[in-house]
Each structure stands twice: as C-alpha cells, then as structure tokens.
Amino acid sequence: MATARPLANGNGNAVRSSRPEPEEDEENIFLFYPNLIGYSRVVLAIASLYYMPLHPRTCSILYSVSCLLDALDGFAARRFEQSTKFGAVLDMVTDRCTTACLLVFLASAFPRWSIVFQGLISLDLASHYMHMYATLSMGESGQSHKNVDESRSWLLKMYYSNNKVLFTFCALNELFFIALYLLSFSSPYLSPTLLKDSSNPSTLQPGTPAAPKPSMLFTSPWSAGAMEMARANKMSSTVPWILAVISFPVMFGKQWINVVQLVKASKWLAEGDRKARRKLGLPRRKSKGKKKQ
C-alpha cells in the first residue's frame, strides 16, 4: 500500500500538503447494542408502572422482562466489546429507580410496613451511591465499581466478580418484591380488606384502609380496570407465597450486602480524607508558647 509523501518546494525542502487529513468516524456511544437494550428496559419499566395500580399480571410480566434484560445488556457489552461508562451508569440508575418505584407502591399497599420499605429504598440508593463515588474518587482512573479488591471485602469481591452470583442475588431480590406486589392483590391475610365488604364497616379491621366499592372507582363494570380488579380478587395467592418464601433469604442477604457496601465505601472515603489532611498538614498543632498563654 502506497504511503503519502511530503511535497518538496524548489529548494528541496519538504512542504506539508494543504490537503486535510481524513478524520476517523466518531462512534455513537448512545447507539451501542447494550445501551439500546438499556433504553428498552426503561420503556418496559415505565409501562409496568402504568399498569401497576390495577393490572398485577401485566405489570409483573413487564417488570420481570425489564429485570431479565439486565443480564442481556451485560452479555451484549462483552460480546460486541461495547462496555462503556455511560452504559454502566444507565444500568445502575435503571435498577435503582425501578426497584424504588416498586417499593413505593408496596409502602402504599402495606402502610403498616411503609417505614421498612422506605428504609430499603434509602439503603439501596445510599449504598450504591457511596460505593460508586468511592470507586471514582479513590480508585484508579477508569476503574469500574465492579472491580473490588479482595483485601477490602471478600464478600463484595465475590458478589461483583461472579456474574452468576450477581444475577442470582439481583433476580431473587426483585422476585421477592414482585411476589409481595402480587400478594397485595391476592392475599386477604396481608390485605384484610381485599375481599371484605366495604359497605359493612364492622367487617373492617382496625388500622386497615377502607376498600372502596369497585363501582366508586370504575363507572363501567366492563372497563379494563374493573375487569382486572375482579380477576385480582379471584387470584390465588399460593404461587406468590411460594415465590416469596423461596426468595426471602436471598433478598435478606442482598440487603446485608448493601449494608457492607455502605460501610466499606464510607471507610474507604475516610482513608482518603485522612491522607488529604496529612498532606495539608492538618490538624495544625498549636505552638508551646500559645499553649502557655
């Protein structure tokens, strides 16, 4: 292949060509395959939120597909060599937001336990933010939040380095909350007013919200919402209870990992603060003369 040679003037001196060099095509990061999958996850999550108040089956399917695509975008990133910081942040933000939205619904469905769901939202957001910030500020340049030194935490190392472990914990964690969501539509044990007659106040148990008649919510008995509510009252709670019992230990373990992640990230940031203060000569020691005065 012939190479371009510099032109020469009359004196034999090399002269650069005025012809501009062709620029390399700029990659469009936003159209990478894993990021396109990430956008579809956002669309599915928003659709699930739309159906969440009255359509438990449709919502559960859309929400579950959105969660399962979380594994596919990681595979696509490795397969096509399209791992990007934007994709990693998009993935994490989508996970945190969708889980928070589901927990907000559960807090309204089970008001007695709302403080627990509010605590889970806070723990999830705080632990991941602290971990991400600590990695960016204290780690090496370009280091991923999934690259955890085993000397800092063997638990986090195992959690982030093994894709199967990470997928299992995340999937079963979401499965537990989906099971609770379905139980809010199907289990009179958890929602005592679900199958109660709201026209008779004596049937309502203290502390449970009064369930309005379907006719007060839906003017037409053949509307989509009224039909779905009728089906919800006939839903069996057996399968959701089984899913909840199976996934609860893993969900609890996931919350413990969040606590460990929050504590380790806080200690890592504190290490950086101590080093920075030593470089600045802080704390400044008072002279002996001043002490005597």
pLDDT value of residue 283:
86
Q: Taking residues 40-61, what's their average pLDDT?
A: 93
* 228 vs 192: CA distance, rounded Å: 19
* 123 vs 24: CA distance, rounded Å: 45
pLDDT value of residue 225:
63
Answer for the pair 217, 225: CB distance below 8 angstroms, yes or no.
yes
Which residues are identified as catalytic? Answer: 95
Lowest mean pLDDT among 81-95, 183-197, 198-212, 252-266: 198-212
Q: Taking residues 131-153, what's their average pLDDT?
A: 81
Lowest mean pLDDT among 175-184, 193-202, 266-275: 193-202
Structure tokens at 212: 């309005």
* 175 vs 60: CA distance, rounded Å: 10
Q: What residues does each domain of the chain span?
A: 29-192+224-272
Nearest to 240 by CA among 190, 278, 195, 282: 190
pLDDT single digits (tens) 69-116 = 998 988 999 899 999 989 989 999 999 999 999 999 999 989 999 999
Q: Which residues, 6 or more positions from 69, have their beta carbon under 8 angstroms from its beta carbon?
A: 37, 40, 41, 44
* 34 vs 72: CA distance, rounded Å: 8
SS3 of the chain: CCCCCCEECCCCCEECCCCCCCCCCCCCHHHCHHHHHHHHHHHHHHHHHHHCCCCHHHHHHHHHHHHHHHHHHHHHHHHCCCCCHHHHHHHHHHHHHHHHHHHHHHHHHCHHHHHHHHHHHHHHHHHHHHHHHHHHHHCCCCCCCCCCCCCCCHHHHHHHHCHHHHHHHHHHHHHHHHHHHHHHHHCCCCCCCCCCCCCCHHHCCCCCCCCCCHHHHCCCCCCHHHHHHHHHCCCCCHHHHHHHHHHHHHHHHHHHHHHHHHHHHHHHHHHHHHHHHHHCCCCCCCCHHHHHC
pLDDT value of residue 208:
43
Q: Taking residues 15-19, what's their average pLDDT?
A: 57
Structure tokens at 136: 């960016």
Residue 208 backbone dihedrals phi, psi, to 5 degrees: -100, 140
Mean pLDDT taken over the chain: 83
* 55 vs 58: CA distance, rounded Å: 6
pLDDT value of residue 292:
55
Whether residue 61 has pLDDT greater than 80: yes
Report the predicted TM-score, pTM, of the whole model to 2 decimal places.
Answer: 0.79
pLDDT value of residue 54:
83
Whether residue 206 has pLDDT greater than 50: no
Q: Taking residues 136-141, what's their average pLDDT?
A: 78
Answer for the pair 69, 75: CB distance below 8 angstroms, yes or no.
no
Whether residue 209 has pLDDT greater than 50: no
Half-sphere exposure of 43 (CA within 13 A, CB side): 6
Class of domain 29-192+224-272: mainly alpha
Q: Taking residues 255-279, what's their average pLDDT?
A: 94
